[in-house]
């Protein structure tokens, strides 16, 4: 596996592959790889000649007081996993390489509306940070396809919209959330949970699945379903940020006749901010 921190070296290697007509698949990550990331890499292998993975804990997408400093960094283990999976190139830029003028002064990408609701309302600037780094990485790697997990559903929507509106010639592939046996969505932040919180954590997915069942069987009382879920989470020790039923296509509030819905939630449990979602094709 070829590895570099340098944009110059990355570009020269990619140029060779492109000249040889190789199709490139790209998986951007912040490292601390788990089975969810590895599923993306595995899928990438099946869809292109060369697989490029980036590891960069992007300061621009963390707010003040969030976990940027403590975010788990496990580069040696990540490198071993990616090597074992036959990844062709690992790009591990430094902060200075990606933001040479400093993060405050750097040019940014904003996705209005979609980037400001749900997680964007609680984490102002988060999706601007995500869109900016992903746009930069797309410009550097220029892949044919890029793969993202559906656990970060709003992030996926933000990236899809950015790709469409900024005319990136890149196909975005979305992969299903990979879960622990008890339903908890895999996430690097799960490691912040104590043993007791880890036992509580699957409740987040359970409340979403309960709402999904109700919607499938015809309930349209969105507000009561959301409120009951928030109460259930809070009385179990979570601090629910939101539980929301939204339209799949644009994450806006659904009307009773909308059929393609997604229930999304974010909640703090101890020092971990957990997110999850369930898509529903209602009757
Ligand atoms: O999902 C992530 O790990 C990050 O938000 C991403 C897409 C790599 C951008 O930093």
The closest-lying atom of ligand 1 relative to the alpha carbon of residue 54 is 8
Instruction: Please state, in angstroms and rounded to a whole number, the distance separating the CA atoms of residues 281 and 283.
Output: 7
The CB density around residue 239, as the number of other CB atoms within 10 Å, is 13
Same fold, 2-175 and 188-281: no
Q: Are strands 145-149 and 89-91 parallel, antiparallel or unpaired?
A: unpaired
Q: In this structure, which residue's CA is closest to atom 9 in ligand 1?
A: 130
Pocket test for ligand 1, best of 73, 120, 134 (most atoms within 8 A of CB): 134
Cα of 41 from ligand 1 centre, angstroms: 14
Query: How confident is the prediction for the chain on average, in pLDDT?
Result: 97
pLDDT at 51: 98
Contact of 158 with 130, CB cutoff 8 Å: yes
Q: In this structure, which residue's CA is closest to atom 2 in ligand 1?
A: 29
Q: Which pair of structure tokens corresponds to residue 196?
A: 């007791």
pLDDT at 282: 77
Q: In this structure, which residue's CA is closest to atom 3 in ligand 1?
A: 29
Q: What does the buried/exposed string (b/e) look like for 195-215 if buried means 16 or more CB atoms within 10 Å of the residue's CB? A: eebbebbbbbbbbbebbbebb
Q: What is the CATH number of domain 2-175?
A: 3.40.50.620
Cα of 109 from ligand 1 centre, angstroms: 15
Helix axis angle, 222-235 relative to 203-216, nearest 10°?
160
Cα of 8 from ligand 1 centre, angstroms: 22
**Fold of domain 188-281:** 3.30.1300
Backbone angles phi and psi of 252, in degrees to 5: -85, 170
The closest-lying atom of ligand 1 relative to the alpha carbon of residue 188 is 3
Q: What is the mean pLDDT of each run of 10 residues along the chain (283 residues)?
A: 98 98 98 98 98 98 96 98 98 98 97 97 98 98 98 98 98 98 98 98 98 95 98 98 97 95 98 97 79
pLDDT at 197: 98
pLDDT per position as a tens digit, 136-169: 999 999 999 999 999 999 999 999 999 999 999 9
Question: Is-above-0.95 flag for pTM?
Answer: yes
pLDDT at 124: 97
Residues in the chain: 283
Cα of 205 from ligand 1 centre, angstroms: 22
Write out the DSSP string of 172-187: EEEEPPPB-TTSPBP-
Domain segments of the chain: what residues?
Answer: 2-175, 188-281
Residue ranges around ligand 1 (CB below 6 Å): 28-30, 58, 61, 130, 133-134, 152, 155
Cα-Cα-Cα-Cα torsion 227, 230, 235, 239, nearest 10 degrees, comes to -140
Long-range pairs, 27-30, Cβ under 8 A, ≥24 = 27/51, 27/52, 27/53, 27/54, 27/146, 27/147, 28/53, 28/54, 28/56, 28/133, 28/134, 28/137, 28/146, 28/148, 29/53, 29/54, 29/55, 30/55, 30/56, 30/57, 30/58, 30/71, 30/188
Query: What is residue 223's DSSP assignment?
Result: H
């Amino acid at each position: 596996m070829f590895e570099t921190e340098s944009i110059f070296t990355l570009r020269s290697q990619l140029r060779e592959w492109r000249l040889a007509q190789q199709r490139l698949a790209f998986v951007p990550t912040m490292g601390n790889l788990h089975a969810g990331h590895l599923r993306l890499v595995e899928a990438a292998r099946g869809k292109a000649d060369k697989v490029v993975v980036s590891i960069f804990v992007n300061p621009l997408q963390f707010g003040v007081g969030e976990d940027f400093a403590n975010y788990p960094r496990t580069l040696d283990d990540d490198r071993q996993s990616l090597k074992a999976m036959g990844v062709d190139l690992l790009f591990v830029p430094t902060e200075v390489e990606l933001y040479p003028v400093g993060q405050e002064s750097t040019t940014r990408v904003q996705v209005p509306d979609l980037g400001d609701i749900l997680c964007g309302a609680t984490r102002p600037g988060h999706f601007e940070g995500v869109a900016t780094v992903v746009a930069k990485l797309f410009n550097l790697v220029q892949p044919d396809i890029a793969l993202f997990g559906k656990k970060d559903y709003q992030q996926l929507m933000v990236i899809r919209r950015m790709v469409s509106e900024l005319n990136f010639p890149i196909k975005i592939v979305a992969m299903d959330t990979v879960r622990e046996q008890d339903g908890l969505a895999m996430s690097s932040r799960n490691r912040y949970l104590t043993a007791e919180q880890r036992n509580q954590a699957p409740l987040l997915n359970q409340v979403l699945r309960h709402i999904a069942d109700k919607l499938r069987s015809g309930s349209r009382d969105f507000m009561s379903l959301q409120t009951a879920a928030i109460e259930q989470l809070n009385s179990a020790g979570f601090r629910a940020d939101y539980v929301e039923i939204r339209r799949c296509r644009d994450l806006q509030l659904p009307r009773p006749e909308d059929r393609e819905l997604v229930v999304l939630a974010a909640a703090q449990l101890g020092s971990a901010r957990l997110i999850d979602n369930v898509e529903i094709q209602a009757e």
